[in-house]
Amino acid sequence: MNKPWLNEYPIEIPRELDLVEKPLQSYLTEAASLYGNKAAIHFMGKEMTFQELYESALKFANYLRGLGIEKGDRVAIMLPNTPQSVIAYYGVLYSGGVVVQTNPLYTEREIEYQMKDSGAKVILTLDILYPRVSKVMKNTNLEHIIVTAIKEYLPFPKNLIYPFIQKKQYGIVVKVEPTDSNHLFTHIMSTSKPEQIESEFNFDNDIALLQYTGGTTGFPKGVMLTHKNLVANASMCDVWLYKCKKGEEKILGILPFFHVYGMTAVMILAVMQGYKMILLPKFDPETTLKTIQKQKPTLFPGAPTIYIGLLNHPDLKKYDLSSIDSCLSGSAPLPVEVQQEFEKVTGGKLVEGYGLTESSPVTHSNFLWDKERIKGSIGVPWPSTEAAVFSLETGEPLPANEIGEIVVKGPQIMKGYWNRPEETDQTLKDGWLLTGDLGYMDEKGYFYVVDRKKDMIIAGGFNIYPREIEEVLYEHPSIQEVVAAGVPDPYRGETVKAYVVLKEGATLSEEDLNEFARKYLAAYKVPRIYEFRNELPKTAVGKILRRALVEEERKKVEEEEKLG
């Protein structure tokens, strides 16, 4: 297969990776040996060394074994970014189990669905989430709930103050008493032994993780990611960041670990390379700015909404962000203006990457150094990764600059969907992962996403790509966030609607925005409807939920038809 992108690779990046066949958790064992006394985690003022992390993970593993967890059993982790989330992740792997990452924002219905679908036997969650989990337990395979609290890993006096803050914020105080099915994380850490567990291992086939896709359309699917998938993707990330020094970097952990991007590009990479993780349990612009100034992270994987949130903070200029050297942006398109402004503020590099849950997640990225970045491109395929553009009509590869479906192949591509062989067969064809994204490749091998196949707007017979409209509107100085979507239209079939969030203090009329759009877009692409909002619906990682807005519009039309 022709791979023109390899000609673009700097000499420092290998074309192919030589993967060592060892389990994901063995990298923590190595890190404890190499960097035992070095800080692995910084959390709200308290630090934990690699040796402490390693021993804590082994304690958790042995406790799970005592609860009856055997090789291949599923264990759910329902936590924000905390030391416990890292301890438990590696603990589950040491026990031979499979991690099921569960979003702490899930409702009872969503928790019940995921526990039933995965067949998880044990779940680790926060004290304030315990009532939600316990209510659905009887309808699932769950046998045990392990409960922890944020305060357990806070320094004095924050650990004493935090319960009062939590009560004020959530209006509840939860006290969980240990029973045969309820277990306390503090008890595990104080009583369990940090002993190694031996078990048979298959690098290619053993599942490390069930990572559920967003489920914005239909039910979420459990993506089976093997040890090979995750080791491969973190190794690709490492060689891409070839100027970073093993054992020396500090990485900001805002992206949630229950999302595959934060899990791979922050947690797994940090453990693999001996980096210090600076964890924040949620994104708050002011807390993030203070943390960057004080802790001086060098790496900052993020999402566009995170960078936008920081750039629009009124006190941004008061903070020193110059420690930041490298940022890989994922989960949503990165507007060029955001990239340029963030680089100006930090002095570091910010580039866009691309991937899917099904690919562990990264398949493409722009180069951070030594190459001019290509405007609007998601970059080139990573080492050991093949990519192509297939025709929607024939399924055959297309030549350069022709739009079709982006497909990828490589060691990071999932084993398949959990208990869904038919959907696996629809998504994996001859080793190729069909991404559902429309795009093209240029002559040099740089790829461009024009939009999700299912998000393409067809108005009056024209194909319109929301991303192109968003890129134009983002250039308006008053706009903080924008999303374009196709909404029902009796004449055109669909028409373009733009949902806009303005910067603080900015004013903008529909007429002004329409005039601006008409300067840069063909008439048929210009939004016919504008709606100004205070915020847009988002996933936990900050991806704007375009489908939720489309669904809103569909329901509105249905209601109008009923009345009319």
Residue 526: the pLDDT is: 92
Provide, rounded to the nearest whole percent, the portion of the chain with pLDDT above 70: 98
Residue 215: the pLDDT is: 45
CATH code for position 449: 3.40.50.12780
Mean pLDDT calculated for residue range 188-217: 89
Length of the chain: 564
Quick: pLDDT tens for 25-64.
Answer: 999 999 999 999 999 999 999 999 999 999 999 999 999 9
* 59 within a domain of the structure (yes/no): yes
State whether 273 and 292 are in the same domain.
Answer: no
* 117 within a domain of the structure (yes/no): yes
CATH code for position 119: 3.40.50.980
Mean pLDDT calculated for residue range 378-382: 97
State whether 511 and 547 are in the same domain.
Answer: yes
Task: Give the list of residues 6+ apart from residue 552 with CB closer than 8 angstroms, or none.
Answer: none
Give the distance, in angstroms, between the CA of residue 435 and the centroid of all CA atoms in the same chain. Answer: 16
* 524 within a domain of the structure (yes/no): yes
Mean pLDDT calculated for residue range 548-563: 82
The answer to whether 339 and 293 have CB atoms below 8 angstroms apart is: no
**Cα–Cα dist 451/438, whole Å:** 5
| Strands 428-429 and 479-489, bridge-based pairing | unpaired
**Cα–Cα dist 27/294, whole Å:** 28
Instruction: Assign 138 a pLDDT band (cuts: 50, 70, 90).
Output: very high
Mean pLDDT calculated for residue range 373-397: 93
State whether 273 and 312 are in the same domain.
Answer: no
Of 411, 432, 453, which residue is a domain's last? 453
Residue 214: the pLDDT is: 59
* 63 within a domain of the structure (yes/no): yes
The domain total for the chain is: 3
- Tell me: pLDDT of 79 over 80: yes
Give the distance, in angstroms, between the CA of residue 22 and the centroid of all CA atoms in the same chain. Answer: 24
- Tell me: pLDDT of 110 over 60: yes
Quick: pLDDT tens for 298-330.
Answer: 999 998 889 999 999 999 999 999 999 999 998
Residue 411: the pLDDT is: 98
Residue 462: the pLDDT is: 73
State whether 357 and 271 are in the same domain.
Answer: no
* 6 within a domain of the structure (yes/no): no
Residue 217: the pLDDT is: 44
Of 232, 255, 279, which residue is a domain's last? 279
* Residue type for position 541: V
Please, what is the average pLDDT of the chain? 93
State whether 35 and 178 are in the same domain.
Answer: yes
Q: Which domain holds residue 256?
A: 22-279
Residue with tokens 């595990």, as numbered in its chain: 188
State whether 87 and 229 are in the same domain.
Answer: yes
Please tell me the pTM assigned to this model: 0.86
Residue 216: the pLDDT is: 40
Of 453, 480, 501, which residue is a domain's last? 453
Task: Give the list of residues 6+ apart from residue 13 with CB closer than 8 angstroms, or none.
Answer: 239, 240, 242, 383
Quick: pLDDT tens for 221-237.
Answer: 999 999 999 999 999 99
Mean pLDDT calculated for residue range 81-95: 98
Instruction: Assign 218 a pLDDT band (cuts: 50, 70, 90).
Output: low
State whether 517 and 426 are in the same domain.
Answer: no
State whether 442 and 308 are in the same domain.
Answer: yes
State whether 58 and 185 are in the same domain.
Answer: yes
- Tell me: pLDDT of 562 over 70: yes
* 541 within a domain of the structure (yes/no): yes
State whether 231 and 138 are in the same domain.
Answer: yes
* 2 within a domain of the structure (yes/no): no
- Tell me: pLDDT of 540 over 80: no
